Structure 1
Amino acid sequence: MSFLAASPSPYHAVANAAERLEKAGFRQIAETDAWDGSSGGKYVLRGGAIVAWYVPHNAAAHTPFRIVGAHTDSPNLRVKPLPDTGAHGWRQVAVEIYGGPLLNSWLDRDLGLSGRLTLRDGSSRLVSIDRPLLRVPQLAIHLDRGVGSEGLKLDKQRHMQPVWGLGQTHEGDLLRFLEEECGLPAGEVTGWDLMTHSVEAPAYLGQDRELIAAPRMDDLLSVHAATAALTAVTSAACGPTPSEGPADGQGAAQPELPHIPVLVAFDHEENGSQSDTGADGPLLGSVLERSVFARGGSYEDRARAFAGSVCLSSDTGHAVHPNYAERHDPTHHPRAGGGPILKVNVNNRYATDGSGRAVFAAACEKAGVPFQSFVSNNSMPCGTTIGPITAARHGIRTVDVGVAILSMHSARELCAAQDPFLLASALKAFLED
């Protein structure tokens, strides 16, 4: 819950994951530097994406990878290049719809602003205005009498622009406000990637606090679970933190892992994954290949490593909805609190096949975690994940899994309080082999 609250944007999510990795003994390396073949935990950051991996001391050049993949982005409202707008005495911020949000869930909700600012010298600065700043006001029922019988109909351009003040709009208002908030000189910000987020904190819900209501579970729930799993598997091996001593595993008990555990959290899954930080980009393949070559490997070693690798693509899925049970497959009803789900679609919208099911079943059995199967109702179009893209792009056997939630793509989603732990436990067992 603290991870979700501290990660209002993909850039904050990877920064928070990196901080947890650092505490577990991982060290950041730059993509522009020459890499060596040393053992230990390493990670790279690129925009809203992160790749982290641990090289055991016994790893050969052809040692395969065990990968957990997720994504950092969530559907929301993102600030346009010319943000200052307004009408009829209202000051507004011009936004564009990112991904496929449930638009009605963003109405009459207190919103903050977050993301990154690019400065004149080319450096970046994370920004999070985590207080009520903007609001998308809904039209009163008195002015839309048909909303009760005909349903709410929202135009993405006309109806989703938030207000943030009164008076006349001036060009540069928002940028000046952000520079003042961050203590930056006027004119210092030359670029930005900004988005809105709900400022309502994650919370336990229900009589017995058995549910969690929170934003961005899709898919920061998986990013957190994967980070927790990777650090749990490797923390003893990575040794003390940098402030306490070397972080390369020297002097610490190192596991004899038969593979290299990897975490990858991509950006831009919600709009197709086609970017330099998306699953359809080169980031994961580049990192894995460079890891092989840094350990003295050849292209043959790279081919052997990829052929023996497995990826768990972890993303949220749909719990059966008590008010809309007919929308689900009649024989597959994943329950909140029933453990992680194995996602299957024979048309390859998910990458799971029978051998992949066996891999996940073994991990859950080792962890003592129950799991459930999910398929879509045949009459409903099926969503997709980074799984099929990862499998097709890298030739790596991939399995789609996740946690069953309600209100997917809402500004605030719902899951069982125990399911994130159960997922993390299964991912840890998978990374341990």
Structure 2
Amino acid sequence: MSHTDLNQDLADFISQSPTPFHATATLRSRLLDAGYQALDERADWQLESGGKYLVTRNDSSLIAFQMGGADSLQRGIRLVGAHTDSPCLKVKPQPELNQQGMWQLGVEVYGGALLAPWFDRDLSLAGRVSFRTAEGRIASRLINFKRPIAIIPSLAIHLNRGVNDGLPINPQTDLPPLLAHSLDPARDLRALLSEQLQREHADCANLDILDYELSFYDTQPPATIGLDNDFFSAARLDNLLSCHVGLTALLSAESEQACLLVCTDHEEIGSSSSCGADGPFLEDVLSRIVPDAAQRVQVLQRSLLVSADNAHAVHPNYAAKHDDNHGPKLNAGPVIKINSNQRYATNSETAAFFRSLCEAANIPVQSFVVRSDMGCGSTIGPITASRLGVRTVDIGAPTFAMHSIRELAGSRDPGYLTSVLRHFYNCAQLI
């Protein structure tokens, strides 16, 4: 697949995945189309040599794995990890606001979002809605309005003269999106959701909406931009880019290898949930792949996890925010992320292994270390390594504007990272 075709497929994947629920559904659909079998955690599993399987939890996290040949587990599992969530604005449980003749919804900031870019954007709404059916059964469906239905207008500079001097944004009072004029009778969000569910799902009539998890998102589609098409611009590159790359690589893995892709929710808020990386999801699945505890330890000690999450590219306008010797650049290959305080799980052995993979794939590779006078973010890498004891390398595609409503990557970097992860899934021997 060419860089152009890969980026178009990535753009389609991102457009289909405005929330972690939708990202998981899109991953699931593509895996099913590729011959993977869906498993239910509540049922017994009959795993077979050569089988390909997937399992989801909370509709927002997914693990896909292929068993490989008869002795593949003894050679170790090739694991790739990413996360399905991104910073966003989530609708509150009782959100309706009627202010100055306008109907708005109160929101809560999810994760470490850059808030200023959310203003003056065409926003839509998507997520999961739970309801009681006419038969009294509680069920859930995904919902996506798709069209722009909301906006957060900026206050005119004439009324906010100091805005360009860095005035703070109050999430409680400044961020409620505007959806419509207030009407009599008053608008009702649950009625709006019921109508939308009926449009999207033929079996969703006569519902009693009980609850929801809804997020606003930018409707501007992903795009390859720049005079020479050097850049790829989209929402949620952190971390749907890695989810897509992991999926694409997995689908080209040789059938004899034992391979696994884990895409978990809640990374942006610490991963501590039943479906997050700091929860038991991956351990539960691995315990069913390798039921014997002693053998499972042996398998994991022969395995390796590539934790794929975006890296900070050196911004030409803010180059001083980087260590002079560790400023990754766009379109210069994947980045090995290193931190001596274990905010990243990379060590010299796993970094050396990843460098050798890049060399084998004829792909350039870079390193990132945060400035010594700045704090460092983290990933699912240290969390998973500490829970499983598996050797781990933290890597990612270099990007600008991480945690903005719209982020920027190099147009060649998704292809570079895909090539390396294909080599990883297909490599004959791990370290």
TM-score (norm 1): 0.91
How far, CA to CA, are the matches of 1:126 and 1:301 in structure 2? 39
Match of 1:6 in 2: 16
Structure 1 residue 303: deviation in Å? 1.3
Match of 1:292 in 2: 290
Match of 2:89 in 1: 77
CA-to-aligned-CA distance 1:228-277 (integer Å, 9 cap, x gap): 0000114xx4xxxxxxxxxxxxxxxxx3x3xx210000100000000011
CA-to-aligned-CA distance 1:8-31 (integer Å, 9 cap, x gap): 000111111111211221111111
Match of 1:201 in 2: 221
The structure 1 residue matched to 2:70, chosen from 48, 52, 58, is 58
How far, CA to CA, are the matches of 2:85 and 2:233 in structure 1? 18
**Pairing 1:207-286 to 2, within 5 Å after superposition:** 207-234=227-254, 237=255, 255=256, 257=257, 260-286=258-284
Match of 1:178 in 2: 193
How far, CA to CA, are the matches of 1:326 and 1:140 in structure 2? 32
The structure 1 residue matched to 2:125, chosen from 101, 113, 117, is 113
Match of 1:249 in 2: none
Preserved CA contact (<8 Å) 1:84 1:170: no
Preserved CA contact (<8 Å) 2:223 2:234: yes
Match of 2:301 in 1: 307
Structure 1 residue 170: deviation in Å? 6.6
Q: Kindly provide the amino acid, as one letter, of the partner of residue 138 in structure 2.
A: G
Match of 1:344 in 2: 338
How far, CA to CA, are the matches of 2:304 and 2:14 in structure 1? 27
Q: Does 1:386 align with 2:380?
A: yes
How far, CA to CA, are the matches of 2:52 and 2:333 in structure 1? 29
Q: Kindly provide the amino acid, as one letter, of the partner of residue 78 in structure 1.
A: K
How far, CA to CA, are the matches of 2:102 and 2:331 in structure 1? 45
Preserved CA contact (<8 Å) 1:28 1:42: yes
How far, CA to CA, are the matches of 2:293 and 2:73 in structure 1? 10
Preserved CA contact (<8 Å) 2:83 2:267: yes
Q: Kindly provide the amino acid, as one letter, of the partner of residue 44 in structure 1.
A: V
Q: Does 1:29 align with 2:39?
A: yes
1:227 alignment partner, SS class: helix
Q: Does 1:377 align with 2:397?
A: no
How far, CA to CA, are the matches of 1:392 and 1:64 in structure 2? 18
1:337 alignment partner, SS class: coil
Q: Name structure 1 gaps, 5 residues minimum.
A: 238-254
Preserved CA contact (<8 Å) 1:342 1:374: yes
How far, CA to CA, are the matches of 1:425 and 1:357 in structure 2? 17
Structure 1 residue 105: deviation in Å? 0.8
Q: Does 1:410 align with 2:404?
A: yes
Preserved CA contact (<8 Å) 2:249 2:419: yes
Number of matched residues? 406
2:172 alignment partner, SS class: coil
Q: 1:271 to 1:395 in 2, by over 3 A?
A: same
Structure 1 residue 62: deviation in Å? 4.7
CA-to-aligned-CA distance 1:313-360 (integer Å, 9 cap, x gap): 000011000000000111112110001000000010000000110221
Structure 1 residue 185: deviation in Å? 3.3
How far, CA to CA, are the matches of 1:170 and 1:21 in structure 2? 46
How far, CA to CA, are the matches of 2:184 and 2:152 in structure 1? 17
Q: 1:364 to 1:186 in 2, by over 3 A?
A: same
Structure 1 residue 86: deviation in Å? 2.4
How far, CA to CA, are the matches of 2:12 and 2:18 in structure 1? 11
Structure 1 residue 366: deviation in Å? 1.9
How far, CA to CA, are the matches of 2:184 and 2:353 in structure 1? 57
Match of 2:421 in 1: 427
Match of 1:132 in 2: 148
Q: 1:371 to 1:170 in 2, by over 3 A?
A: farther
Preserved CA contact (<8 Å) 2:67 2:73: no
Structure 1 residue 37: deviation in Å? 3.0
Q: 1:80 to 1:170 in 2, by over 3 A?
A: farther
CA-to-aligned-CA distance 1:376-430 (integer Å, 9 cap, x gap): 1111111100010001111111110000000100000001111011111111111
1:303 alignment partner, SS class: helix
The structure 2 residue matched to 1:102, chosen from 114, 118, 127, is 114
Match of 2:7 in 1: none
Preserved CA contact (<8 Å) 1:134 1:163: yes
The structure 1 residue matched to 2:174, chosen from 159, 163, 173, is 159
Identity among equivalent pairs (%): 42
How far, CA to CA, are the matches of 1:391 and 1:61 in structure 2? 19
Structure 1 residue 188: deviation in Å? 2.8
Q: 1:348 to 1:430 in 2, by over 3 A?
A: same
How far, CA to CA, are the matches of 1:172 and 1:353 in structure 2? 56
Match of 2:54 in 1: 43
Preserved CA contact (<8 Å) 2:88 2:109: yes
Match of 1:90 in 2: 102
Structure 1 residue 83: deviation in Å? 2.0
Match of 2:201 in 1: none
Preserved CA contact (<8 Å) 1:91 1:169: no
2:143 alignment partner, SS class: strand
| Cα RMSD, aligned residues only | 1.4
How far, CA to CA, are the matches of 1:48 and 1:165 in structure 2? 30
